[in-house]
A = this chain, B = another copy of it.
Amino acid sequence: MVVATNGSPLEQYNDTKIPLSNLSYNSIVSVDRGDPVGFSTFWEKLREEAKVEIKGDEVMSYFGDANLCWYMLPQMRNAILRLHKVVGNANTEDKYIVLGNGSSEVYLALLYALSTEKPSDIPINVVAAAPHYSDYEGATDMLQSKLFQWSGDASVYDKDEPYIEVVTSPNNPDGALRTPVVKSDAEGKVIYDLAYYWPQYTPINHELNQDIMLFTFSKCTGHAGSRIGWALVKDIEIAKKMVKFLHLSSIGVSKESQVRATKIIEVICDGYQNSNSTPSDRLFFNYSKKLMKDRWEKLKAAIEKSKVFTLPKYPTAYCHFTKEITEQYPAFAWLKSVEGIEDGESYLEKLKILTRGGKQFGVDPTYVRISMIGTDDEFIELVTRLANAKIE
């Protein structure tokens, strides 16, 4: 077996085997990716309670259910409905659930479903306000589809052509709460990417009820390895086209992941529905919100000490889920370099901190994105280095 050891564009992933519990001053701290393994400390405590068993002959079929999303297990559907009900972040009534292999695949299914298939038509323009998620462009344009094309920053979109606006709220990378910004009179459709609309990141102050809402299990519970994403979709024709896409793209979604995601969601919901008898540190969103709050306090202190970067200001709001007025604790910190630093990513690279620079999010390189949801060791080393950073 040949193994790629160097020269690969995937080398960025080659550091995943660094023993992060032994980070030294000379180690590289990778906070460029949003791998949500920081929440694993919670799941370690509930490892037995949240365990699943799958026997040799179980879930062997392509099929899961006799309904529209035919590859979805009924218990997966029920778990998703229950989770939204418990958290109160999205209204599931009169909506179809379309499941995918992560929200990435559901995103592509949505682009397919929202575009027209007449060969005479021009591709529909896909836009998102900058700074926007770094993979929208790559995913949209990868296959050079005649159905849709990436058209950049939604805030400057002025074509008189149909468009799809992706509204990520809270936003990746900067945590901002967003609404659509396109001013065009052309026919527009909106995808709400609500990957981060969970109580650990932001106050849940509305039960959203949009026509198309996209969610991912990865950023909700931290189980990114399961590749479970879903959309809540009002229009049956859109839902059907999405299911057709999922059929041709991957013939549905792993049943093992569905079994596992169902269990994890049930454990979370059981905790809240018996919350009088459940200690707070065994309630997932309480635990994960506290973790995010602690990290944000440490990060803010480090940033304030070094004065090399500034952070966005976030509003506070009442959270219907936690029943308190609370701040936002985004999954990513969005740092702006002070004057004198032209390229935040390069600056931090010298401190052996790997980040993702502004250019990848459609803005200038003075910005950098830092993951707040990695391992504890990584995070502690990050704030130590940031606190000691100086302008050269």
In the complex, A83 has a CB within 8 A of chain B: no
Shortest Cβ distance from residue A162 to the other chain B in the assembled complex, whole angstroms: 16
Q: Nearest Cβ distance between residue A318 and chain B, in whole angstroms? A: 29
- Interface bits A144-168 vs B (CB < 8 Å: 1, else 0): 1111000000000000000000000
CB distance from A47 to the nearest CB of B (A): 4
Total count of chain A residues near the partner, CB < 8 A: 96
Q: A54-B51, A147-B143, A227-B251 are in contact. Are A236 and B2 (CB under 8 A)?
A: yes
- Interchain CB contact under 8 A, B81 and A60: no
**For residue A142, which residues in chain B have a CB less than 8 angstroms away from its CB?**
112, 245, 248-249
Bound-complex Cα distance A298 to B92 (A): 49
Q: A47: which B residues are within 8 A, CB to CB?
A: 55-58
Q: Which residues of B contact A66 (CB under 8 A)?
A: 13-17
Check B104–A260 contact: CB distance below 8 A.
no
CB distance A1 to B225 under 8 Å? no
- Nearest chain B residue, comparing its CB with the CB of A50: B56
Q: Is the CB of A16 within 8 A of B63?
A: yes
Across-interface contacts of A95 in B (CB, < 8 A) = 1-2
- Distance of A1 Cα from B65 Cα, bound (Å): 14
Does A294 touch B at the CB level, under 8 Å? Answer: no
Identify A48's interface contact among B13, B50, B56, CB under 8 A.
Answer: B56
Q: Contacts A44-B57, A60-B40, A104-B250 given: A240-B144 contact, CB under 8 Å?
A: no
Q: Is the CB of B250 within 8 A of A227?
A: yes
Tell me how far the C-beta of A6 lies from the nearest C-beta in chain B, rounded to whole angstroms: 11
**When the two chains form their complex, are residues B39 and A60 in contact, meaning their CB atoms are under 8 A apart?**
yes
Please tell me if the beta carbons of B60 and A55 are within 8 angstroms of each other in the complex.
no
A287 to B33, CA, bound (A): 46
Number of copies: 2
Q: Are A4 and B68 in contact (CB under 8 A)?
A: yes
Give A172 Cβ to nearest chain B Cβ, in Å. Answer: 14
**A71-106 at interface with B (beta carbon < 8 Å):** 77, 81, 92-97, 100-102, 104-105
Instruction: Say if the beta carbon of A49 comes within 8 Å of chain B.
Output: yes
Does the CB pair A70–B10 fall under 8 Å? Answer: yes
- B-side contacts of A27, CB under 8 Å: none
Q: How far is the CB of A232 from chain B (nearest CB, A)?
A: 10
- Check: A208 CB closer than 8 A to any chain B CB: no
Query: A108 — which chain B residues lie within 8 A by C-beta?
Result: 249
Residues on the B chain within 8 Å of A279, using CB: none
Nearest B residue to A145, CB-CB: B143
A324 CB within 8 Å of chain B: no
CB closest residue in chain B, given A256: B256
Residues 19-54 of A at the B interface (beta carbon under 8 Å): 33, 35-37, 39-40, 43-44, 46-54
| A35, B62: Cβ atoms closer than 8 Å | yes
Given contacts A36-B60, A63-B35, A144-B147, contact A250 B101 (CB under 8 A): yes
Asked whether A380 is an interface residue with its Cβ less than 8 Å from the other chain, the reply is: no
| Closest Cβ–Cβ distance, residue A144 to chain B (whole Å) | 4
**Pairs A-B, 4 closest by C-beta atoms:** A50-B56, A225-B255, A43-B57, A254-B254
Known: A10-B243, A227-B253, A256-B257. 15 other contacts (CB 8 A): A1-B81, A1-B93, A1-B94, A10-B70, A15-B66, A16-B63, A16-B70, A48-B56, A51-B55, A139-B249, A142-B245, A144-B147, A225-B255, A225-B256, A227-B255
